[in-house]
Amino acid sequence: MSNIIRIYDTTLRDGSQGEGINFSVNDKIKIVEKLDAFGIQFVEGGWPGSNPRDVEFFNEISKKKFKQTQIVAFGSTRRKNIDVQQDEQVRLLLGAETPAIAVFGKTWLLHVQEVLKTSPSENLAMIRDTVAYLKSHNKCVLFDAEHAFDGYKDNPEYALEVLKTAASAGADWITLCDTNGGTLPSEIGTIVSEVLKVIGSSGLGIHTHNDIGMAEANALTAIEKGAQMIQGTINGFGERTGNCNLISVIPTLHFKMKRNAVPDESLPKLKQLSQFVYEIANMLPNPAEPWVGNSAFAHKGGMHVNAVQKLARTFEHIDPSAVGNHRRVLVSDLSGKSNIILKAKELGIELENSSPELRSILNTIKQMEHQGYEFESAEASFMLLIQKKFKKVQAPFTIVSYHISMRSDGQSKICEATIKVRVGDKIGHTVADGMGPVEALDGALRAALLDFYPNLKEMKLSDYKVRILESSNGTAAKTRVLIDSSDGTQTWGTVGMSSNVIEASLQALVDSIEYWLLKKRGEF
């Protein structure tokens, strides 16, 4: 059994079918370049001729050279009752001029008879003719056996005949697709073992969907049984509930199964790859994503933190840096002394376990969280709290005054914010409009500071959450505002709390900007 596993990325086709995902041609090219640098062997570009965007993509990608990646054009077998040489779709696949071509065919008799409306023998001929014709043009041919597992469970004899037909026609790879995403790992294992008995020298791949939350488990089970290729998408993007997540599968192969899928030097760049594709897709990263999520190595309970401080592997299955991640110690009313000591150490502040300052900070945190603050998702606000308590740090700016008003032009209502800030002995005073009071306030605050800190344009507000606490108090209820900000490479959270949502928002905005400016100044 080979120790090398090939990775086949279909983010640009299958992944782009996920709800809310829409890649431009330029986006797709950027992703291919990133995947090539990471060491992905196959990248599926799309379906040539299916839409103007894919036509343009294949035209542009043909001008580029890649070190490790083969670009794959995707399509179907020839249409029923037509000569393969006369099939326009097959002609477009060859016209894409990619080194590899993937074609899917029907494995499930239900689809053959009820969807294609053709005979079992004609379906086999469609597969045989297409694979053989593409091979005659010196292409690496991958046959995607659509609904392979449902087809096998319904009629194993016919499903295996489909796979034998593709193999005998010369397919380099046969990929078993769990198209409906409803197969269990035990079923995957049994069927893969049977398939390997009949496909000869063709390599076996696995393509799984996540409809019952088993996409990665199913893919890895297939590998354990002898498959040599995994098809999937970055971050698990895909139709319905998504595809097999390559960001989870790749490190699992390497660290847990001792199989080689990408170069060793690529693994510490895994989190960066995940975040890059999230950014291109204009989606927020999933904090709970295994291996690379911000919460993947986050510790909250005081006893957990204490144990990790003594021996990391007591609560971590791997060194976070191996995949480009890092340990995070969360601070909340569940925190123990170890949480505070480790967070202070990040700032260069050494605290003794018995120091009165440590107890003072711990009590302050617990009191503030009891009032409604939440530091678990607002580490930047917490770091500012420690910094100000132990170091005499000069604040980058102070708010002198601000004012929010609403005006109407008869057509729509616009919020207007006026703000005055002090930087040293100078004053900045600006006004900005927004669709709401927070947007207007954020715009005015940034505009007032830009003359003093031009690099402030690098950061932006990426998420804004409001939670009403003690709602029984009606309009006088306390409001907690959590803000996530980003400069394109890192994200940080801040918190504000008040009975006035504008005041709470301003607290979180000020913390966000102050944290970033102090970080740029080297204070963090």
Tens-digit pLDDT string for the chain (524 aa): 578 999 999 999 999 999 999 999 999 999 999 999 999 999 999 999 778 888 899 999 999 999 999 999 999 999 999 999 999 999 999 999 999 999 999 999 999 999 999 999 999 999 999 999 999 999 999 999 999 999 999 999 999 999 999 999 999 999 999 999 999 999 999 999 999 999 998 999 999 999 999 999 999 999 999 999 999 999 999 999 999 999 999 999 999 999 999 999 999 999 999 999 998 998 888 989 999 998 888 777 666 666 776 777 788 889 989 999 887 766 654 556 667 777 677 666 777 777 777 777 777 777 777 777 777 778 888 888 887 777 667 889 999 999 999 877 667 778 899 999 999 999 999 999 988 888 899 999 999 999 999 999 898 888 888 887 765 555 456 888 989 998 887 889 899 988 888 999 999 999 999 999 998 888 77
Q: Can you tell me whether residue 489 is helix, strand or coil?
A: coil
Q: Can you tell me whether residue 185 is helix, strand or coil?
A: helix
What residues pair up with 401 in beta bridges, in sequence order?
A: 420
Residues 6+ apart with CB under 8 A from 171: 131, 135, 141, 142, 143, 202
Residue 311, Cβ neighbours under 10 Å: how many? 9
Encoded tokens for 495: 């918190």
> What are the angstrom distances between the C-alpha of 345 and each of 298, 342, 350, 351, 445?
16, 5, 6, 8, 32
Helix or strand (DSSP H, E) at 73? strand 70-76
* Residues 208-235: tens digit of each pLDDT: 999 999 999 999 999 999 999 999 999 9
> What are the angstrom distances between the C-alpha of 523 and each of 184, 366, 515, 518?
52, 25, 9, 5
Cα–Cα distance for residue pair 373/366, rounded to 1 Å: 9
Cα–Cα distance for residue pair 346/382, rounded to 1 Å: 12
> What are the angstrom distances between the C-alpha of 92 and each of 51, 258, 333?
12, 40, 62
In the chain, the N- to C-terminal Cα span, in Å, equals 50
Domains along the chain with CATH numbers: 6-262 (3.20.20.70), 349-396+459-524 (3.30.160.340), 399-452 (3.30.160)
Pair 35, 290: CB distance under 8 Å? no
CA atoms within 13 A on the CB side of 146: 16
Cα–Cα distance for residue pair 340/358, rounded to 1 Å: 7
Quick one: CA torsion of 93, 95, 97, 101, rounded to 10 degrees?
Answer: 10
* Residues 24-51: tens digit of each pLDDT: 999 999 999 999 999 999 999 999 977 8
Is residue 373 left, alpha or beta, with left meaning phi > 0 and alpha meaning psi from -120 to 50? beta
What residues pair up with 426 in beta bridges, in sequence order?
A: 423
Cα–Cα distance for residue pair 32/58, rounded to 1 Å: 12
Q: Can you tell me whether residue 85 is helix, strand or coil?
A: helix
Pair 73, 102: CB distance under 8 Å? yes
* Residues 467-493: tens digit of each pLDDT: 877 655 554 568 889 899 988 878 898
Pair 127, 165: CB distance under 8 Å? yes
Of all residues in the chain, what percent are helix, strand and coil, respectively (each to 5)?
A: 45, 20, 35
Encoded tokens for 284: 């927020």
pLDDT at 471 (0 to 100): 52
Task: Name residue 519's amino acid.
Answer: K
Is residue 238 left, alpha or beta, with left meaning phi > 0 and alpha meaning psi from -120 to 50? left
Q: Is the pTM of this model over 0.85?
A: no
Q: Would you give the distance in Å from CA 20 to the centre of its chain?
A: 13
Burial of residue 277 (CB within 10 Å: 0-12, 13-18, 19+) is buried
